[in-house]
């Protein structure tokens, strides 16, 4: 069975983060661009049905397209990430999807709180401070990254590669 992911793709961040992600985020090497995860894992790909996809499309269609900027570098224990501001519309979007699909909790139910973030580097416990400082310097030179995500993307991981299955438009 192949896992699926619901995400906001954020190609606007690539000029700042792509080289870090290529080096320090296995998902980037598997074809997944800069993104903010909404729900992962979503459902196994074999369980996706036309009815489920229609429910997902209907849930997403009435939600506003999030507009945000990426201006701050933050860290989890072994992760460097960019914080979107504001987060309200992203949190509302993830929550609405979770309510429509209660068997698919945000983060697989493993985290007490959903924190929207764009991962720059994973599994870097020793290098995270140095990477964070490099990302901060690059972000300072580049300036704030302004983003507008007009759809939610459903992706599937097959044969160690991420592939786009569908895009679900958000309200403009």
Question: Helix or strand or coil: residue 127?
Answer: coil
Q: Which two tokens stand for residue 142?
A: 């580049």
pLDDT recorded at residue 129:
97
In angstroms, the CA 21 to CA 118 distance is 10
End-to-end, the C-alpha distance of the chain in Å comes to 35
In angstroms, the CA 160 to CA 19 distance is 20
pLDDT recorded at residue 111:
75
- The strand pairing partners of 47, in sequence order, are none
pLDDT recorded at residue 150:
96
Residue ranges covered by each domain of the chain: 4-169
Report the chain's C-alpha Rg in angstroms.
Answer: 16
Closest to 43 (Cα-Cα) out of 7, 8, 2:
2
Architecture of domain 4-169: Alpha-Beta Complex (3.90)
pTM of the model: 0.95
pLDDT recorded at residue 135:
98
Q: What is the pLDDT along the chain (172 residues), one digit of tens a residue?
A: 799 999 999 999 999 999 999 999 999 999 999 999 999 999 999 999 999 999 999 999 999 999 999 999 999 999 999 999 999 999 999 999 999 999 987 777 677 789 999 999 999 999 999 999 999 999 999 999 999 999 999 999 999 999 999 999 999 8
Peptide bond into 147 cis (omega under 30): no
């Amino acid at each position: 069975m192949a896992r699926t992911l619901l995400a906001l793709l954020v190609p606007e961040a690539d000029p700042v983060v792509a080289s870090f992600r290529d080096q320090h985020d296995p998902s980037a090497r598997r074809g997944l661009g800069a993104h903010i995860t909404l729900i992962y894992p979503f459902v196994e790909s074999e369980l996706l049905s036309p009815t489920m996809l229609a429910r997902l499309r209907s849930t997403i269609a009435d939600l506003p397209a999030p507009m945000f900027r990426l201006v701050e570098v933050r860290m989890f224990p072994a992760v460097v990430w960019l914080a979107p501001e504001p987060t309200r519309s992203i949190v509302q979007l993830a929550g609405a999807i979770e309510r429509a699909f209660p068997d698919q909790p945000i983060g697989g139910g493993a985290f007490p709180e959903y924190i929207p973030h764009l991962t720059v580097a994973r599994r870097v416990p020793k290098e995270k401070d140095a990477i964070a400082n490099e990302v901060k310097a690059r972000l300072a030179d580049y300036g704030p990254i302004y983003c507008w995500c007009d759809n939610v993307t459903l992706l599937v991981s097959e044969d160690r590669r991420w592939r786009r299955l569908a895009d679900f438009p958000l309200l403009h």
